[in-house]
């Protein structure tokens, strides 16, 4: 993307109203828990329609023309919701790397929103969606470096499912890696997945990267993952996403 007028920083007041996006949406929150400290580590902001339609119904409306504005609006809506619910943990926000044409300019709206809604910048995590094909790894490296300099945490989402895998970690390191639920499902019954996850745990440990296992649905899956030294978890075993609210956590 070039630095055209349509990609200039957007005011957070515009984003809260989804100005010029062509449609509106909101968020649900799903907790990420630390089973060692028995605390909520973060709440992930997940896109939902205004009547709680699933994320897919909203994402189907995204195209090259509105991708940047949608990405900016997601950030503002997530911060606004977290502030309104007095979230004390981190708030985790997915972002689209291909929508960020300039780290310095594209982050302005997020910082403005954090200041306006009085939500600390150092409690914001940006998740890179590995399922989106990264067109320029050098550009993504610059984004991650800049965001970390500004006090944000960064994470690779759906690790192990996308286009780049371990190649991303060879080029730069995020603060967190979220294991894709495809690796987690029935891991207690699958020696191959266990070996793969053990390997990822070892690599991330050497790089000082924390691991989040997402998509945990059973006690058996949880137990195996805990035996590998993983402490951070997300999934229906603990709580389903709560539409515009904070879910009650089970099994913590």
| Tens-place pLDDT, residues 81-136 | 999 999 999 999 998 776 666 677 778 888 999 999 999 999 999 998 755 566 67
Q: At a CB cut-off of 8 Å and minimum separation 6, what does 202 contact?
A: none
Q: How wide is the angle at C-alpha 198 spanned by C-alphas 195 and 204, nearest 5°? A: 140
Q: Is 36 a domain residue?
A: yes
What is the spatial distance between Cα 29 and Cα 163, in angstroms, rounded to a whole number? 27
At 162 the pLDDT is: 59
Please tell me the total count of domains within the chain.
1
Q: Is 250 a domain residue?
A: no
What is the spatial distance between Cα 250 and Cα 198, in angstroms, rounded to a whole number? 26
What is the spatial distance between Cα 237 and Cα 249, in angstroms, rounded to a whole number? 9
Q: Is 119 a domain residue?
A: yes
At 4 the pLDDT is: 43
Q: Decide which of 10 and 150 is more confident.
A: 150
Mean pLDDT, range 168-192, rounded to an integer:
92
Q: Is 4 a domain residue?
A: no
What is the spatial distance between Cα 121 and Cα 170, in angstroms, rounded to a whole number? 27
**Model confidence at 160: pLDDT above 70:** yes
Mean pLDDT, range 184-210, rounded to an integer:
95
Q: Is 249 a domain residue?
A: no
Mean pLDDT, range 239-243, rounded to an integer:
98
Q: pLDDT, tens digit, for every residue of 27-77?
A: 999 999 999 999 999 999 999 999 999 999 999 998 888 888 898 899 999
Q: Is 5 a domain residue?
A: no
CATH number for the domain that contains residue 77: 3.20.20.450
Q: Is 248 a domain residue?
A: no
Which one-letter DSSP state was computed for residue 123? G
**Model confidence at 1: pLDDT above 50:** no
At 225 the pLDDT is: 98
The answer for 165, left when phi > 0, alpha when psi is -120 to 50, beta otherwise, is left
Q: Please give the distance of CA 90 from its chain centroid, rounded to a whole number.
A: 11
Structural domain harbouring 234: 10-243
At 63 the pLDDT is: 87
pLDDT band at 140 (very low <50, low <70, confident <90, very high): confident
Q: At a CB cut-off of 8 Å and minimum separation 6, what does 88 contact?
A: none
Q: pLDDT, tens digit, for every residue of 202-231?
A: 999 999 999 999 999 999 999 999 999 999
pLDDT band at 181 (very low <50, low <70, confident <90, very high): very high
Q: Is 3 a domain residue?
A: no
Q: Decide which of 184 and 4 is more confident.
A: 184
């Amino acid at each position: 993307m070039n630095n055209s007028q349509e990609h200039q920083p957007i005011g957070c007041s515009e984003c809260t109203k989804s100005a010029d996006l062509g449609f509106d949406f909101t968020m649900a929150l799903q907790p990420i828990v630390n089973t060692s400290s028995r605390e909520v580590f973060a709440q992930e902001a997940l896109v939902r329609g205004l009547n709680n339609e699933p994320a897919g119904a909203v994402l189907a409306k995204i195209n090259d023309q509105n991708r940047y504005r949608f990405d900016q609006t997601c950030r503002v809506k997530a911060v606004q919701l977290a502030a309104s619910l007095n979230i004390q943990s981190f708030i985790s926000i997915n972002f689209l790397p291909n929508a960020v044409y300039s780290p310095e300019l594209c982050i302005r709206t997020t910082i403005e929103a954090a200041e306006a809604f009085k939500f600390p910048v150092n409690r914001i995590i940006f998740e890179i969606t590995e399922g989106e094909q990264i067109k320029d790894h050098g550009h993504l490296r610059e984004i991650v470096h800049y965001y970390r300099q500004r006090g944000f945490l960064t994470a690779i989402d759906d690790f192990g499912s996308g286009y780049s895998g371990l190649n991303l970690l060879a080029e730069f390191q995020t603060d967190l890696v979220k294991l894709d639920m495809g690796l987690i499902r029935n891991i207690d019954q699958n020696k191959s997945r266990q070996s793969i996850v053990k390997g990822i745990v070892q690599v991330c440990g050497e790089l000082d990267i924390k691991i989040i296992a997402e998509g945990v649905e059973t006690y058996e899956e949880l137990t195996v993952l805990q035996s590998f030294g993983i402490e951070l978890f997300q999934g229906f075993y603990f709580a389903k996403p709560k539409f515009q609210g904070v879910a009650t956590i089970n099994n913590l």
